[in-house]
Structure 1
Amino acid sequence: MIVVPDDEQILFELADAVHGIARQLRVPDDLVPGPCTPIEITVMRYVQQNPGVSASDAAAATGLPTSNLSRSLRSLESKGLVRRDADIKDGRGILLYPTALADINIGKIRQAWTDRLIQATDSEYFLKEVVVLLKKIEHALSLGPQT
């Protein structure tokens, strides 16, 4: 993709808007067994969306250093939100799965974010297209820098 100066400005504005929206979407206070850090939410979200993912793939996709991911996984596991299972294809590997409690918490987060966005939007017009585009961008960014 060739980027021209006007594209750079609009891309910055897109990133700035996404960052601003993300900062306004709060995690509910009633998560069980208690609050999670933003990094834990990121990891829990990713594992819930990709059950059976390896820790290294989760680290790469979320952009977290493996040490941060490991720390978050230990915390999430101690809270009963993530479980680790041995990879039957590779005895050395570990696969990550959300627990039923994680599914409940993600449901609470989903409801809180949906309620907040309903208040902020006046129409469903273009929302599906915006979501599709943002998911494509998120996926492309999760693959890392392209050379």
Structure 2
Amino acid sequence: MDQNYSHKLYLLADLIHAVGRHLSVPDELEPGPCTPVEILVMRYVLQNPGASARDAAEAALLPSSNFSRVLRGLTDKGLLRQESDERDARGKKLYLTDRAKANFSRMQDVWSRDLEGLIEDGEQLDVVNALLKDVENKLVKRRKNETSKRKSVGRAARV
């Protein structure tokens, strides 16, 4: 990989992290602020209502034992609800509670105020959002491919 291109990719990742650190944490979150992993799980469920626990664990890059702890914590906080999967009695479907939806609404209000006026051109904002969403989708797809390759290599080694 070209060193200049590699440096530009590093700068993109660095800036994404830096921007995220400068966004305010809303004061009125109930029952209080969540960990980054909890937010990642809830964000996935927000975008995929009724998602399976397995899919949410994979999206959060968590092994099932760690994910179970996160899931239990979010359920105990009243932010996630689980329903039995009618097609698979062992499976669970995940949904955000009204409390979690209200928290996301508060986050939208606060983060929108934090960023207001920084990108004036709505079309430019659409381009930035589309680009970042595309990067996220490609990273998720790459991770899934890498995970499935590791699993298949592990199975082949056991045979």
TM-score range, shorter chain: 0.7 to 0.9
Q: Which residue of 1 aligns with 2:93?
A: 95
Are 1:64 and 2:46 counterparts?
A: no
* CA RMSD across the alignment: 1.8
SS in 2 for 1:28: coil
- Which has the larger helix fraction? 2
- Which 4+ runs in 1 deviate beyond 6 A? none
Q: 1:81 to 1:54 in 2, by over 3 A?
A: same
Unaligned runs of 5+ in 1: none
Point out the more displaced range, 130-139 or 34-43.
34-43
SS in 1 for 2:83: strand
Q: 1:49 to 1:145 in 2, by over 3 A?
A: closer
Unaligned runs of 5+ in 2: 147-159
Q: Which residue of 1 aligns with 2:31?
A: 33
Q: Could you tell me whether the CA contact under 8 Å between 2:50 and 2:94 is conserved in 1?
A: yes
Q: Could you tell me whether the CA contact under 8 Å between 2:37 and 2:60 is conserved in 1?
A: no
Q: Could you tell me whether the CA contact under 8 Å between 2:119 and 2:125 is conserved in 1?
A: no
TM-score, L = length of structure 1: 0.88
Q: Deviations over 1:6-52 (max 9, x none)?
A: 22111111111111111112321211122222221221111111111
| Counterparts of residues 1-147 of structure 1 (less than 5 Å) | 3-143=1-141, 144=143, 146=145
Point out the more displaced range, 58-67 or 131-140.
58-67
Q: Could you tell me whether the CA contact under 8 Å between 1:83 and 1:98 is conserved in 2?
A: yes
SS in 2 for 1:35: coil
CA distance in 2, matches of 1:72, 1:26: 23
Q: Which residue of 1 aligns with 2:154?
A: none
Deviation at 1:67, TM superposition (A): 3.0
Amino acid at match of 2:106: K
Q: 1:27 to 1:69 in 2, by over 3 A?
A: farther
CA distance in 2, matches of 1:65, 1:24: 30
The percentage of counterpart residues that share the same residue type is 45
Q: Could you tell me whether the CA contact under 8 Å between 1:63 and 1:142 is conserved in 2?
A: no
- Across the two proteins, how many residue pairs are aligned to each other? 145
Whose RCO is larger (CA < 8 A, sep 6+)? 1
